[in-house]
Every structure is written in structure tokens, then in C-alpha cells.
Amino acid sequence: DFPMLGSDSVQPVPRFRQELFRMMAMAADMLQRLGARVALVDMGPQQLPDGQTLPIPPVILAELGSDPTKGTVCFYGHLDVQPADRGDGWLTDPYVLTEVDGKLYGRGATDNKGPVLAWINAVSAFRALKQDLPVNIKFIIEGMEEAGSVALEELVEKEKDRFFSGVDYIVISDNLWISQRKPAITYGTRGNSYFMVEVKCRDQDFHSGTFGGILHEPMADLVALLGSLVDSSGHILVPGIYDEVVPLTEEEINTYKAIHLDLEEYRNSSRVEKFLFDTKEEILMHLWRYPSLSIHGIEGAFDEPGAKTVIPGRVIGKFSVRLVPHMNVSVVEKQVTRHLEDVFSKRNSSNKMVVSMALGLHPWIANINDTQYLAAKRAIRTVFGTEPDMIRDGSTIPIAKMFQEIVHKSVVLIPLGAVDDGEHSQNEKINRWNYIEGTKLFAAFFLEMAQLH
């Protein structure tokens, strides 16, 4: 019985933080009962932009077994969740785990409490059978992932030669399959560079009757800037941006051919009339191995219902570029900035333009011939009787890159949830079948790792 608490790390509210502290304490208690050595690492306070401070929930560092003849596998998971409100279209209380037709509904069911519990269950199965664990196991569990893993990087850096020194492999289970029934292993994620472009005439807005016709209007400048970034076929118009993208090989194309994806079902479940591409291979490549640019919104523009004759005095456009190997965050920042400066200068506007990059996260890719990828494949064959889809993820999982860069250990992503789990959305769920088979998968993975190690 694991009550679903409002362990929301996104909204900076003391009540939610208290729930997060309670969650971490509960998880630490579960691990101690399994016989793990558990440390709850104090992460100090979080400074918020409005001047208030909130405590950061502790990070759990736990270890079970230290047999030098065995391999050591470290599992990363998080217990915090995205905001959820019954009034937003949830059919059940998001913070009470509710089973309907074999689906377990609740915020955090698939992202990421379900997979964390599945890993703990797999460990406790060996304990219940009084069997020795086939590998040494470590846990790093945090409570701030949805808020950008505040202060985690510093902790990993500090523990690099202590907690992580004996670790051979790192497992993350924080994403989904690409299908409803066929398991997958993830070996790559895209990065993300998030940009703000501000165009300013003055801080106050203008009346279009009094000023319309004699101003360089910031909104017109901004629309032109945003319109210069990407064409109607999804091709990014920033010069040089594709230069570092890894060339496509025949072998790589074959990996996309092997993946099961029903385009018709994918389109219908997405409620989209038509995608930019017509083949499975092209769709997957443009989600995983090519960059994309998305325009997200405009701050300062009039966006209420009704008619208001306003000329915004200062507007901020927001867009981001999903990066792929071997694109570099700082190179992309320079290319995007230079492009926007060129477009802006041609407008001869008297407004001021400022481009800034709010976030720069690198893409991540692993070697699928690493030991733990082979172990994960074998474990999937054992439990599901099928070959896994070898997939990449179009979104960003910064923690994978962080572990690879700082700890220099092989990272594998073993998702448990089905494509329709709806993480971050209303009515998030994990299927009972995925949860139970996923627990078996982790147990089989321990056994396979022991053999290969």
C-alpha cells in the first residue's frame, strides 16, 4: 500500500515540499527494511526568483551488497511528480492510486513511482526467496527531477569517487515504450536549447489609435523573427545548424525498419490529421536523429478573449531547438543568435533586440553493444519472449548525459510503461501488466548482468 501523495516539486509551495520529505522518508524506510545501507543527503535550501527559500528534499543514496566479485548496478529514479488537479480533467483523484480495467491511474504511476517500486520489488523478491542478490545494487533517488534536478549535479560530482566509485553500470527507467505491448530499450535522447528573444520599444504598451502607423512595432518585429526560424516542412532555416549532425548510414536505417510502429494508430491516438512525413522510418528519424525547432509562445502579447486595440511595448518570443549528436549547445547558441541578428538588422527597426539561451542540455547516445544492453535484451527475451524495440527518445533526459559525463559509466534506459501512459498529462497510468512484467524484467536483468559480468 503506497499512498499517492501530492509530491509535486514544480509548484514551490511548502505543503508540497513537506509531502516530498515524507516520500523520501518512506522510500528510505522501505530500503532499510530490505537491509540496505541508506543515507538521506541534505541538499540545503532552494533560492526562488521571488526571494523566498524552500528546502530541497534529501537525496537517497543506498547500497545493498558489496561483494567485490560481483558487478554493481546503480538505479536512478525520482519520487516527485508533475502538478495534477482533479478539476483539470482527471477521471479519478490523481493522488489516490485507482485501478480501472487493469490500468493503475494516478500522478506518478508511470513517471516515476511505478518503475522505482518495480525495482524495489525485484530486489525484495530475492530477499523473500532468501536468495543472494546476483549483483551489488545501489540506489540514487531524488525528489526534484520535474523541477530540473536542483543541486543534483553537484552531489553526483562530489560522490563521483565515493558512492559511484564501485559502480559498473547505471540504469534509468524514466521513459516509455514506443508501442502498447512491445518492450523497448532506449539508447539515446535529444538535447534541448531553449531561447528567449526580446524585442522592446518601451516597457509600457501603446494605444493603436494614438500610435499605430508611426512606430516600429515590437510585435511585428518578433513575428518576423520567429517566422524566419523554420519552414513549413519543418526544416530549420538557421545557417550551419545541420553541419554537425551525424551522417545517416545504411545500418542505422535498418534499425528503424526493425521497429514496430503502426503509423495509422500513432496518428489516430495523437489526434493529428497528417504528419510532415509519410513513412515510419522518416517519422522516427525526425523524432530521434534530426534536430527540430519549435515555437512555444510570446510573453507580453495580448492573448485574452475579446478585442483590445493595444500595441505591446515589449514582447518575448520563446522557442527551442532539440539537439542531436554531435550538435554542440554553445555552437547552436551562436548560430541562432547570429541568424536572428541578421534578420533583425535587415528590418532597420529602432527597437532593441536581445537573444538569450535559457537552457542548454546536450543530447545523449550510448553504445548498444555495452554489456548492460546485451543483458537487458536477454532479460526482455526471457520475460516477454520477444526482441525489444531499440529506440531513442525525442525528448531530453539530462540525467543520462550527466551520469555519462561525470561518472564515466555506461547508462541504459529500460522503460516499463506503454506508449499511452500519459506521463505529465491528465489520467496518467501504468498498466498492471507492465508493472508486474516490469518487476520480473528487472529481476531477470540482475541475473543476466551477473552472467555477463
Query: Do the beta carbons of residue 347 and residue 221 sit within 8 Å?
Result: yes
146 is in an annotated binding site: yes
Identify residue 79 by its one-letter amino acid code. Answer: L
Burial environment of residue 207 by CB neighbours within 10 A (0 to 12, 13 to 18, 19 or more): exposed
Q: What grid cell was written down for 15?
A: 505543503
Is the N-terminal amide bond of 112 cis, ω within 30° of 0?
yes
Residues 6+ apart with CB under 8 A from 42: 58
- Three cell numbers, residue 231: 519552414
Instruction: Exactly one of 8, 80, 389, 421 is catalytic; name it.
Output: 80
Q: Angle at the Cα of 207 (from 201 to 209), degrees rounded to 5?
A: 120
CA distance 117 to 114: 5
C-alpha cell at 416: 516499463
Q: Is 205 annotated as a binding residue?
A: no
Instruction: Choose, from 142, 145, 205, 389, the residue flagged as catalytic.
Output: 145
Q: 155-166 burial string, b = 16+ CB within 10 Å, else e?
A: bbeebeeebbee
424 is annotated as contributing to ligand binding: yes
1 is catalytic: no
Active site (annotated) includes residue 341: no
Calculate the alpha carbon distances from 54 to 46, 49, 279, 299 in Å: 5, 11, 48, 27
Please spell the DSSP secondary structure of 123-147, one letter per residue: HHHHHHTTPPPSSEEEEEEES-GGG
Q: Which of 450, 440, 452 is nearest to 416 (CA)?
A: 440
Q: How is 361-387 classified by DSSP, letter by letter?
A: E--EE--TTSHHHHHHHHHHHHHHSSP
Q: Which residues contact 309 (CB under 8 A, 6 or more apart)?
A: 207, 208, 209
Of the candidates 61, 23, 220, 226, the one whose C-alpha atom is nearest the C-alpha of residue 156 is 61
Q: Distance between CA atoms of 453 and 275, rounded to whole angstroms?
A: 44
Query: Peptide bond preceding 326: is omega within 30 degrees of 0, i.e. cis?
Result: yes
Q: Tell me which residues are annotated as active site.
A: 80, 145
As annotated, the binding site includes 78, 111, 146, 174, 424
As annotated, the binding site for Mn(2+) includes 78, 111, 146, 174, 424
